[in-house]
């Protein structure tokens, strides 16, 4: 589900400033190739590692490979503070500006450090500061990050093992994780044959009181995407794959008996086909 690194160069124009790889489902994009392209074209690499906290590419943490990396701590993510995130920057010169932007465009951080005697407005910014309470809620999870990860990976593997027979007889497709990527079980998805089959499966699962989730409408076909974006090349996979993808319930502490209910619902649906 990640971007095809072989198609990046054809998409670069004289306006291009950065490559933004999205590590979908916490599975790393091909960062060696992407960093090489960025270097040759003098572009920044800003990793969308919203789904990739505590996941690795060739042993290196997603979000820490490019010039900048963005993590999400949204309520839907592996580690959550309700709403919030983190921005990682390789070049320390960006840090000063980012610090001002997050503090409503002021140098209040310098004031708090005793480096200026009053703070004032310096540049555009907004209120990006998480509250202490939200931060404390996240901190508790970060202290248990590996246990949370292992629990999710266990559920992911259980789904995979249970649904493997359906994939072996080509009824559905299961996620692929390259050997050099250590994912974080951010999500477990299956791929149905097409949109029609997925819609029928969703109805079937809802009837079993299970809430699966279909996923994003590809950005290029969103209202803003149509207005501001360009699709480079041909849409061979993006729309088709997004229409087939269905996320199964996945969260920390998912009980085996609940997971079995989900598996049973999927299997019953396909047996009846």
Ligand X SMILES: Cc1ncc(COP(=O)(O)O)c(C=O)c1O
In whole angstroms, the minimum distance from the beta carbon of 72 to ligand X comes to: 3
Nearer to ligand X, 51 or 107 (CB): 51
Instruction: Please tell me whether residue 169 adopts helix, strand or coil conformation.
Output: coil
Residue from 210, 195, 217 nearest 159 by CA? 210
Contacts of 137 (CB under 8 A, 6+ apart): 80, 81, 82
Backbone angles phi, psi at 7, to 5 degrees: -105, 0
Nearer to ligand X, 51 or 149 (CB): 51
Q: Which residues in 191-215 are b (16+ Cβ under 10 Å) and which e?
A: bbeeeebbeebbebbeeeebebebb
In whole angstroms, the minimum distance from the beta carbon of 121 to ligand X comes to: 25
Contacts of 193 (CB under 8 A, 6+ apart): 244
Instruction: Please tell me whether residue 208 adopts helix, strand or coil conformation.
Output: coil
In whole angstroms, the minimum distance from the beta carbon of 40 to ligand X comes to: 26
Rounded CA-CA distance 152/257 in Å is: 15
Nearer to ligand X, 22 or 254 (CB): 22
In whole angstroms, the minimum distance from the beta carbon of 48 to ligand X comes to: 5
Nearer to ligand X, 74 or 247 (CB): 74
In whole angstroms, the minimum distance from the beta carbon of 46 to ligand X comes to: 11
Q: Which residues in 38-73 are b (16+ Cβ under 10 Å) and which e?
A: beeeebbbbbbbbbbbbbbbeeebbbbbbbbbbbbb
Give the residues lining the site for ligand X (CB under 6 A).
Answer: 22, 48, 50-51, 72, 74, 85
Nearer to ligand X, 30 or 48 (CB): 48
In whole angstroms, the minimum distance from the beta carbon of 116 to ligand X comes to: 31
Nearer to ligand X, 32 or 83 (CB): 83
Rounded CA-CA distance 79/145 in Å is: 8
In whole angstroms, the minimum distance from the beta carbon of 52 to ligand X comes to: 8
Nearer to ligand X, 213 or 263 (CB): 213
Contact 63, 71 (CB under 8 A): yes
């Amino acid at each position: 589900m990640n971007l095809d690194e072989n198609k990046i160069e054809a998409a670069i124009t004289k306006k291009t400033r950065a490559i933004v790889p999205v590590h979908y489902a916490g599975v790393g994009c091909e960062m060696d190739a992407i960093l090489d392209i960025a270097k040759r074209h003098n572009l920044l690499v800003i990793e969308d590692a919203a789904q990739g906290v505590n996941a690795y590419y060739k042993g290196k943490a997603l979000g820490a490979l490019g010039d900048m990396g963005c993590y999400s701590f949204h309520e839907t993510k592996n580690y959550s503070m309700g709403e919030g995130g983190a921005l990682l920057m390789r070049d320390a010169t960006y840090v000063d500006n980012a610090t001002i932007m997050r503090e409503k465009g002021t140098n209040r951080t310098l004031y708090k450090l005793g480096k200026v005697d009053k703070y004032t407005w310096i540049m555009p910014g907004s209120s990006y500061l998480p509250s202490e309470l939200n931060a404390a809620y996240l901190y508790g999870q970060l202290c248990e990050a590996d246990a949370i990860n292992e629990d999710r990976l266990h559920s992911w593997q259980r789904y995979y093992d249970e649904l493997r027979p359906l994939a072996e007889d080509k009824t559905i497709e299961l996620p692929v994780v390259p050997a050099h990527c250590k994912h974080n079980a951010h999500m477990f998805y299956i791929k149905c044959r097409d949109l029609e089959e997925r819609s029928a499966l969703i109805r079937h699962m809802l009837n079993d009181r299970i809430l699966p989730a279909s996923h994003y409408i590809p950005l290029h076909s969103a209202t803003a995407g149509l207005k501001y974006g360009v699709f480079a090349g041909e849409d061979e996979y993006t729309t088709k794959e997004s229409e087939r993808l269905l996320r199964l319930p996945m969260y920390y502490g998912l009980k085996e008996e609940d997971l079995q209910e989900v598996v049973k619902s999927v299997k019953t649906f396909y047996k009846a086909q």
